Structures are given as structure tokens and as C-alpha cells.
Amino acid sequence: MASIVTNAPERRASGWTAALRLILVRIGYALLTLLLVSIVVFVISGLLPGDAAQEMLGQSATPAAVAALRHEYGLDLPAHVRYLSWIKGIFGGDAGHSIVANMPVSEIIADRLPNSLVLAGLTTAVAVPLALLIGILSAVKRGSKTDRALNVATLSMVAVPEFLVATLAVLIFAVHLRLLPSIAMVSKDATWGQFLRSYALPVMSLAMVVIAQMARMTRAAVIDQLNKPYVEMAALKGVRPRRIVLYHVLPNAVGPIANAIALSLSYLLGGAIIVETIFNYPGLASLMVNAVTSRDMALLQTCAMIFCGAYLLLVLIADVVAILANPRLRAQ
């Protein structure tokens, strides 16, 4: 009896260290993944026809002009030398120099990353609460008319491509009603009203897609828990439905929900390309497309690293949340 009592805090402590160790191992794997991704991106982008010198000169690329530019930018060096010098720079905190823009990559990214983060952040702020609400509501009322209506709505939101949503939204709200701007111009001296107005349509288009995905996953996770015997037990003991959902079901469903949210949110950085294009929003995704078409390797690599890093970070956070929310996983 005594041994059990003394053991309890120790076991709890070892549970936390185990979780910590797990997180550290995951970070190690994430770094390894980043390294591998950087090699893959470098190799694959090297397979694209043409290089930065040719793309810069475009249709007017003569062999002599291309050779001169290549030499100037060090593009005539062997691939592994270029890769090693880039990776050396990255470890030293220098993301390299964009030969197309003739600027340090870090400066270009510093310009664009905040835009992408604002768009992703606003979309998250709108989408996550709505998605949770829709998901939980339709799980609790599963089989009812509300559930079926929400199902149809979310399924059609998943099915409609966002360029259609965005274009229709522009046609209705910008061209016909003239309520909202058709392009998202970010200027630093914008008032709050202008800020919200210019973000309204892009955030709406992006949120449509991610809300639907997250709501579907939330519904499935909550229903899964609602069918468990402990819920029935709680109901039999007379616990009110709201309390069952909030205090009993949600903590158990948080793992899968966090995963669904992480996957959806990771889409908001790189996957916003269509919304960025339609609303002419200067974010990271269009920057990366630029980097690909102009064969701007340093910029392309850095963008790829950011997207990959953000994805790994979100998945890691989701895992940690799942581990911490579940005593059994914590103890493992």
C-alpha cells in the first residue's frame, strides 16, 4: 500500500520526462526530414529545364549571354558544390542570396512571411471555432435534420474547388454589390476597417475549405467517443448532455481533433496559392511559385524549408497535445 502511494508521483514525473524525451526525438526526426526534403527539392528542381540565367534572359537567351550570367552567379559550379555552400549558409543562419531579385533571401521572406502568417492566422481564428462548433453540434445531434443539413453543407464545401468559391465571391461581393475589394492590398497604414474589408474575401474563401475538413473530422471523433460505454454510464448517472460533451467526451477526442486541425492549418501556408493568385495577395505561396518559374534556387529552397518546417511543427504540436491530453500515452 505504502509503496503504491510513494510510487504515484514518481510515475507521474517519469511520464512527463517520457513525453519530453518523445518530443525531443520527434524534433530530431523533424530536422532530419528537413534535410532530406532540402536534398529532394534541390535535386528535383535541378531537373527542371533551364536555369536562372536562361529564365532571366527569357526568349532572348543567347549562349554567350547565358554563359556570362551563369559564371557571374556561380551557376556553372557543379550541383553538389552549390548545395553544400547553400546548406553551410543555412546552418550559419544565412538563407542565401536571390540572384533574380538581387536581394538577400531573408529580406524577401521577411516581407512575405508576415503576410502569409496574418492570412493563416485570421483564417484559423475564423475557421477553428466554427469548425468545432459545427462538428460537435452535428455529432451530438447525429441523425437529426440539423446534422443532415450540416453534413450536406460541409460535404459540398469540401467538394467545391476554392477558385470557384473565390471567383463567385468576387463577382457577388466586389463586382456587383461593390461591398468588398476584389483584390487584397495590404498596406501598412490601413485602418482597421480597411484591413478587415480587404481580408474578408480571401479569409472567407480559405475558411470554406478548411472549416469543412475540420468539421468532418471533429464530428467523426466526437461520435466515436459518444458511442463509448463510459458516455452511456455517465448518462445513466444523470449527467447533463452538455457536461458529458464538454467534460467527458472532448478531452478524449482532442487527439484526433488536434491532428485534423494541424493538417488543415498546414494547408493555409503553402496551399493558399490559389487564393493568393485570385486576390493578388503577396504571400509566401506565390513567392515560391515565382521562385520555381524563375529557377531562383536559394529562394525556392528557403520557401520549401519554411513550408516543410511549418507542417512538421503543426503535426508535432498536434502529437504533443494528443500525448498530454491522454494519460495512457503520457505514461508510455
Partner 1 sequence: MAQKLTISRRELVGGALGAGLAATAGGLLLWKGGGKPANHAFVMRGDQQPRYGGRIRVSSIASSTADTLDPAKGSLSTDYARHNMVYNGLTRYDGLLNAQLELAEALESSDRQLWRVKLRKDVAFHDGKPLTSADVVYSLLRHKLPETASKVKTIADQFAEVRADGADEVLIRLTGPNADLPEILAQTQFLIIRDGTKNFHAANGTGPYRCTVFQPGVRTVGVRNPHYWKHGRPFLDEIELIAIPDEVSRVNALLSGDVHLVNAVDPRSTKRIKESGTHAVTETQSGLYTDLVMQQGMLPTSNPHFVLAMKYLLDRELIRRALFRNYAVIANDHPIPPNHRYFNSEIPQRQYDPDRAKYHIRQAGLTGARLPMFASPAAEASVDMASVVQEYGSRIGVNFAVNRVPSDGYWSAHWMKHPLTFGNINPRPTADLLFSLFFKSDAEWNEAHWNNPQFDRLLVEARGEADEARRKQLYGEMQQLVHDQAGVAIPVFISLIDGHDLRLKGLHPIPIGGLMGYMFADQVWWDG
- 46 vs 332: CA distance, rounded Å: 44
Q: Which stretch binds partner 1 (CB under 8 A): 206-214, 234-242, 260-268, 280-288?
A: 280-288
Check binding of 190 to partner 1 (CB under 8 A): no
Stretch touching partner 1 by CB under 8 A, among 25-33, 61-69, 145-153, 211-219: 61-69
17 versus 60: smaller Cβ distance to partner 1: 60
94 binds partner 1, rule: CB under 8 A: no
Cβ atoms 52, 99 nearer than 8 A: yes
Q: Of 154-162, 173-181, 237-245, 248-256, which segment contacts partner 1 by CB under 8 A? A: 173-181
Write the CB contacts of 257 (distance below 8 Å, at least 6 apart in sequence). Answer: 132, 135, 214, 217, 218, 221
Closer to partner 1 by Cβ: residue 199 or 311: 199
35 binds partner 1 (CB under 8 A): no
109 in contact with partner 1 (CB under 8 A):
no
* Contact status: 278 vs partner 1 (CB under 8 A): yes
Close Cβ partners of 288 (under 8 Å, ≥ 6 residues apart): 270, 299, 300, 303, 304, 307
Q: Choose between 99 and 222: whose C-beta lies nearer to partner 1.
A: 99
Q: Output the nine-digit C-alpha cell for 63.
A: 549562349
197: Cβ–Cβ under 8 A, 6 or more apart, which residues? 180, 181
Of 25-33, 47-55, 141-149, 315-323, the segment contacting partner 1 by CB under 8 A is 47-55
**Binding test (CB under 8 A) with partner 1, winner from 23, 65, 204, 239:** 65
| Cell matching residue 306 | 519554411
Q: How far apart are CA 213 and CA 197, in angstroms?
A: 25
Q: Is 50 in the site for partner 1 (CB under 8 A)?
A: yes
65-102 as b/e: b if 16+ CB within 10 A: ebeebbeebebeeeeeebbeebeeebeeeebbbbbbbe
Q: At its nearest, how many Å lie between partner 1 and the CB of residue 101?
A: 4
